[in-house]
Structure 1
Amino acid sequence: MADRAGFRASTRALRLRNFRLFWFGALVSNTGTWMQILVLAYVIDEITDRGAWVGLVAITQMVMTVFTNLWAGPLADRVPRRSIILVTQSLLCVGAFGFAALWGAGVRSPVIYMLLAWGYGILNGFMLPAWQAFIAELVPKELLLNAVTLNSTQFQATRAVGPALGGVLLGFFGPGWVFFANGVSFFAVLFAVVLIQVPRLLPDDPPPIRVFADLREVVGYWRTQPGIQRAFKTVLITATCAQPIIFLIVVFAEEEFNTTGWQLGLLAAGTGIGSIIFFPLVAGRGQFTARSRLLGIGLSIYGLALAGFGLAPWYAMAIVFLLILGGCHLATASTLNTVIQLQVEESMRGRVIALYLMVINVAIGVGTMIQGALYDWIGPRVTVSISAVTIVVLAAWLVSTRRFASMDVGTAAS
């Protein structure tokens, strides 16, 4: 009975029709997206037989997303977010079918696929701030942490399942049909968003978008919000130090454990599986725990688990630490997101979230490049251990100086 009650508490936001539609639609669509991410990398590698091309496509696509965020935040504060999601998801759907058509027609130019991937990056840049801000329109404020945690879990689950499913479909049917399946998956989220009706929260006559003026305004607003500032600075460290392991896991696995095939796939999916395993604990207990305490505990264990992974002498032990890393990432990421969603004013929500996403993406990109170079210079284990020590020291300092206290401030006025 206690377990059943705990599960009900951890999924309270799913009782709301709008959020339930959005969540299940996103679950299907994001699974397709992760399938395509895997297969696009495979296609580029098959065409060019050069890993540099795979990295170039991934990095330039991310740059397009970050660059587009400059316009996406102001747009999400001026145009109904539901409309932005419908338009961008429709175009992403067309793009997936475009990938399928290109492969089926025998097009094998890496430049063509890269240009279409850039289009995906631009559309994602416009979509993501609206997507994150839209969650706050679907649930009351007291369920926001639960909704954000559920959304993060859905993302982590699809990150674990999508590549595995994509690999199976790739083996049986080839790249074209995986691209096609991703296109079909978009109908789930489009159908869900069409059924969702929310009140209009944005001004009827919004001012025109002025990118640099909007950027100055959001940075000025950020400076006046200590809780939001702390969330930004914390995610800057975790994204730089901890998140690169997701992208460099292949190098670590090959050099330290000499693993390939399904063992490599299990390592790559480890943090996603960990998020699913620890979801009931994070979602069930998190809503009754002060955000400052949740972050202090989560960040401390995050660093220790990263150190454990970096020093693990056996493959099985490394898997265990990756599972713990996944749970800690879920706890810290969802809590930081909730701090921002609760403390930001409605009129600034889109721009603040866009800036937050820019910080995360840039930090992950820079961190991955730095750690990749350090892997070659001092080795994977030492590099990961240095990152882990950085996180543990940061957590100890933030907790001892009570700098997380600003995270517990309540809701901003709309």
Structure 2
Amino acid sequence: MSALRLSRLSSLRALRHRDFALILSGAALSNIGTWMEVLALGVYVTKVTGRAEWTGGIAALTFLPAIVLSPLGGVLADRFDRRRYVALGTALEFLLAGTLATLAFTGNLTVGAVAVVSFLNGCVTSLFLPAFTALIASVVPKDDLHSALSLDSAQYNVGRICGPALGAAVVSLAGVEWALLVNALSFLAVLVALGFVRGVAPAPEAVRSESLWAGIAQGVKVARGDPGIALALLGTLAVAFCIAPFTALAPVMAIRVLDLDAGATSLLVGAQGTGSLVAALVAGSLADRFGRGRLLEWCLLLIGLMAAAYWLSPSLPFAVVAVLGLGSLYMLTNTGLATLCQSRVPGEMRARIASLSGMLLYAGFTAGVWLQGALADRLGVRLVTASAALSFFVLAVTLRSLRPRAFAVLET
């Protein structure tokens, strides 16, 4: 596709930049493997334990470390060469994924081992994901930032579509261990891509010389002082707590609520990814037509209703349609919040702001997925999850009605 044609498709503009295209391609291949692992482990834990609390709890362990480590990861990412820093994190993920595959092949895989490795994966992700977000922001100009973050979400959801389908096939035909092995090997794609990235500027000397605590404090100060960033961070926390658990509880929806199997889990996860992918491909055009702020405002108002419709779905076909819409709104909401944050800070602060967003995302998700899973075992899956979704809708409508000026910053 020519650069001229890409320039006409605002959602694809970031692909004009070589370094971004390399990073995106490596991440896309790796995410296919990651989602194969997510499905394989989700089905494994759900079937072994038979409890939504365990399924949600294992997923929560991946995000729990971010509550403490994410701000540290942001400071480190702003201090070092982001390309090499991301490569180091990828190598550690490769080792952890290889450990799970080895345990599975030797017959030593247990729920406890999955929990430990999930926690360690969470530590690595917390320390290195802010660098990946900042790396993307540093290889594209500001005008193409929304396009870049939308495409990053798109590649993530390509993995969400392809990974579960491949994972379900591999688990059915060969077993959990082979799905885990494919995931381990997929991290090599990221390392190869990063090896060809060249256009990343080093961190300023002033950033490298400040203390870690001073760096964290400066990031918090900037976030608190900017009304747009503050609103985006609040929205991230609320979405993570009330809405995001649907991503990890897909096996519970398929197996516990709809009384189906791994194939239904794959279909639900894949449908969510399809909705997110379609939304990512049109996000730039929608933002250009309606305004980035107005688009984000409508997503915040609608996502709670769509999540409730998903959890109250009476059948698999209805759930697939609902999760298509939910996946679209979830992608547009998260991309809009991330773009709002990244577009309002200088380059040397981007990883720190991304780390605060990640900290709140993971804290909210950790609490939300565990609490919803635990309460679902006691009160019923539909009652708990739909109530959380409707609570977010009420919060969004109330804030929009009582504090309209708070939403005005979305347009700036």
TM over 0.5: yes
- Quote the Cα distance in structure 1 between the aligned partners of 2:263 and 2:84: 41
- Quote the Cα distance in structure 2 between the aligned partners of 1:117 and 1:235: 22
Q: Percent identity?
A: 31
Deviation at 1:378, TM superposition (A): 4.4
Decide whether aligned partners of structure 1 residues 113 and 381 sit closer, same or farther in structure 2, where only a CA change above 3 A counts: closer
- Quote the Cα distance in structure 1 between the aligned partners of 2:408 and 2:387: 27
- Quote the Cα distance in structure 2 between the aligned partners of 1:314 and 1:128: 36
**Residue type of the alignment partner of 2:407:** F
1:165 alignment partner in structure 2? 166
**Residue type of the alignment partner of 1:190:** L
**Residue type of the alignment partner of 2:125:** N
CA contact (8 A) 2:219 2:353 kept: yes
1:344 alignment partner in structure 2? 345
**Residue type of the alignment partner of 2:143:** E
- Quote the Cα distance in structure 1 between the aligned partners of 2:95 and 2:366: 28
- Quote the Cα distance in structure 1 between the aligned partners of 2:267 and 2:8: 26
Decide whether aligned partners of structure 1 residues 381 and 191 sit closer, same or farther in structure 2, where only a CA change above 3 A counts: same
Of 404, 408, 411, which residue of structure 2 is paired with 1:408?
Answer: 411
- Quote the Cα distance in structure 2 between the aligned partners of 1:255 and 1:91: 34
**Residue type of the alignment partner of 1:186:** F
1:368 alignment partner in structure 2? 369
Look up the SS of the partner of 1:77 in the other structure. Answer: helix
- Quote the Cα distance in structure 1 between the aligned partners of 2:99 and 2:362: 26
Q: Which runs of 5+ in 1 are unaligned?
A: 410-414
- Quote the Cα distance in structure 2 between the aligned partners of 1:344 and 1:243: 26
1:387 alignment partner in structure 2? 388
Quick check: 136-145 or 59-68, which moved more? 59-68
Look up the SS of the partner of 1:11 in the other structure. Answer: helix
- Quote the Cα distance in structure 1 between the aligned partners of 2:61 and 2:304: 30
CA contact (8 A) 1:7 1:280 kept: no
Deviation at 1:390, TM superposition (A): 2.6
Quick check: 8-17 or 382-391, which moved more? 382-391
Q: Which runs of 5+ in 2 are unaligned?
A: none
Look up the SS of the partner of 2:314 in the other structure. Answer: coil
- Quote the Cα distance in structure 2 between the aligned partners of 1:348 and 1:271: 32
CA contact (8 A) 2:250 2:268 kept: yes
- Quote the Cα distance in structure 2 between the aligned partners of 1:129 and 1:66: 13
Residue correspondence of structure 1 range 312-323 to structure 2 within 5 A? 312-323=313-324
- Quote the Cα distance in structure 1 between the aligned partners of 2:380 and 2:14: 44
Decide whether aligned partners of structure 1 residues 288 and 39 sit closer, same or farther in structure 2, where only a CA change above 3 A counts: same
1:31 alignment partner in structure 2? 32
**Residue type of the alignment partner of 2:83:** R
2:175 alignment partner in structure 1? 174
CA contact (8 A) 1:296 1:395 kept: no
Look up the SS of the partner of 1:202 in the other structure. Answer: coil
CA contact (8 A) 1:10 1:283 kept: yes
2:95 alignment partner in structure 1? 94
2:77 alignment partner in structure 1? 76
Quick check: 201-210 or 361-370, which moved more? 201-210
**Residue type of the alignment partner of 2:411:** D
Quick check: 33-42 or 296-305, which moved more? 33-42
Normalised by the length of structure 2, the TM-score is 0.88
Normalised by the length of structure 1, the TM-score is 0.87
CA contact (8 A) 2:43 2:251 kept: no
Residue correspondence of structure 1 range 146-161 to structure 2 within 5 A? 146-161=147-162
1:67 alignment partner in structure 2? 68
2:280 alignment partner in structure 1? 279
Residue correspondence of structure 1 range 68-217 to structure 2 within 5 A? 68-108=69-109, 111-112=112-113, 114-204=115-205, 206-207=207-208, 210-217=211-218
CA contact (8 A) 1:243 1:364 kept: yes
Decide whether aligned partners of structure 1 residues 186 and 7 sit closer, same or farther in structure 2, where only a CA change above 3 A counts: farther
- Quote the Cα distance in structure 1 between the aligned partners of 2:181 and 2:265: 26
Q: How many residues align?
A: 405
Deviation at 1:136, TM superposition (A): 0.8
Decide whether aligned partners of structure 1 residues 168 and 191 sit closer, same or farther in structure 2, where only a CA change above 3 A counts: same
Quick check: 325-334 or 160-169, which moved more? 160-169
Quick check: 75-84 or 308-317, which moved more? 308-317
Decide whether aligned partners of structure 1 residues 327 and 58 sit closer, same or farther in structure 2, where only a CA change above 3 A counts: closer
- Quote the Cα distance in structure 1 between the aligned partners of 2:115 and 2:373: 23
